[in-house]
């Protein structure tokens, strides 16, 4: 369906996700949160203070804070969404859903580094598998190669220093 060049690029992207996906997620989420906080700070400061120098200082401060808190907020948001989804499936009582969401959010946040590493590495492995199949490799070697790369990448992500 796709050209071989696109499949080779997809394999490279899959390998990148397997080995460095958590670090890429950290960088992208930090940049996104920094841009968001910087924009909000600039809009607020410019409309309230009417001073471009103070607005710029506040914006730069917000961007720096955003870089520092981006990945933490990403992990918290993922944990909260996952916990709410699970709690909503388990029960329909509003108070019980709120209690379960709070409890599960704390548990999932603690485990989020491992869960994110597993999910990102699995995604990279699936991309590698699909691309190898598209390039004409038979199914069994493609599965074995994708699983081996995924496991090595997962171990690589988990052995890195604590994020």
Q: 21-70, pLDDT tens digit by residue?
A: 999 999 999 999 999 999 999 999 989 988 889 999 999 999 999 999 99
Asked whether 116 and 76 are in contact (CB, 8 A), the reply is no
Q: Which pLDDT belongs to residue 145?
A: 96
Per residue in 104-153, pLDDT (tens digit) is 999 999 999 899 999 999 999 999 999 999 999 999 999 999 999 999 99
List the structure tokens of 87: 């709690």
> Does the pLDDT value for residue 1 go beyond 70?
no
Q: Kindly report the CA angle at 133 between 127 and 134, in degrees rounded to 5?
A: 85
Whole-number Å distance between alpha carbons of 149 and 13: 12
> Does the pLDDT value for residue 163 go beyond 60?
no
The distance in angstroms from the start CA to the end CA of the chain is 39
Whole-number Å distance between alpha carbons of 56 and 67: 16
For residue 135, report the phi and psi dihedrals to the nearest 5 degrees: -80, -5
Whole-number Å distance between alpha carbons of 66 and 16: 25
pLDDT band at 162 (very low <50, low <70, confident <90, very high): low
> Does the pLDDT value for residue 161 go beyond 80?
no
Whole-number Å distance between alpha carbons of 45 and 19: 41
Whole-number Å distance between alpha carbons of 37 and 43: 10
What global pTM score does this model have? 0.80
Burial state string for 123-142 with b = 16 or more CB within 10 A and e = fewer than 16: bbbebbbbbbebeeeeeeeb
Secondary structure of residue 110 in the 3-state scheme = helix
Q: Which pLDDT belongs to residue 2?
A: 77
Asked whether 132 and 142 are in contact (CB, 8 A), the reply is yes
Residues whose CB falls within 8 Å of the CB of residue 76, separated by 6 or more in sequence, listed in order: 105, 109
């Amino acid at each position: 369906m796709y050209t071989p060049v696109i499949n080779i690029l997809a394999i490279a992207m899959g390998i990148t996700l397997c080995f460095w996906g958590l670090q890429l997620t950290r960088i992208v989420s930090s940049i996104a949160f920094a841009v968001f906080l910087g924009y909000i700070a600039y809009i607020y400061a410019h409309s309230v203070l009417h001073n471009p120098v103070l607005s710029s200082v506040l914006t730069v401060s917000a961007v720096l804070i955003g870089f520092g808190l981006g990945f933490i907020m990403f992990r918290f948001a993922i944990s909260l969404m996952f916990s709410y989804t699970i709690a909503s499936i388990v029960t329909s009582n509003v108070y019980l859903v709120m209690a379960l969401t709070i409890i599960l959010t704390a548990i999932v946040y603690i485990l989020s580094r491992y869960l994110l590493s597993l999910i990102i590495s699995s995604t990279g492995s699936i991309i590698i598998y699909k691309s190898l199949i598209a390039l004409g490799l038979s199914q069994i070697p493609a599965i074995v190669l994708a699983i081996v790369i995924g496991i090595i990448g997962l171990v690589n992500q988990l052995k890195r220093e604590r994020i």
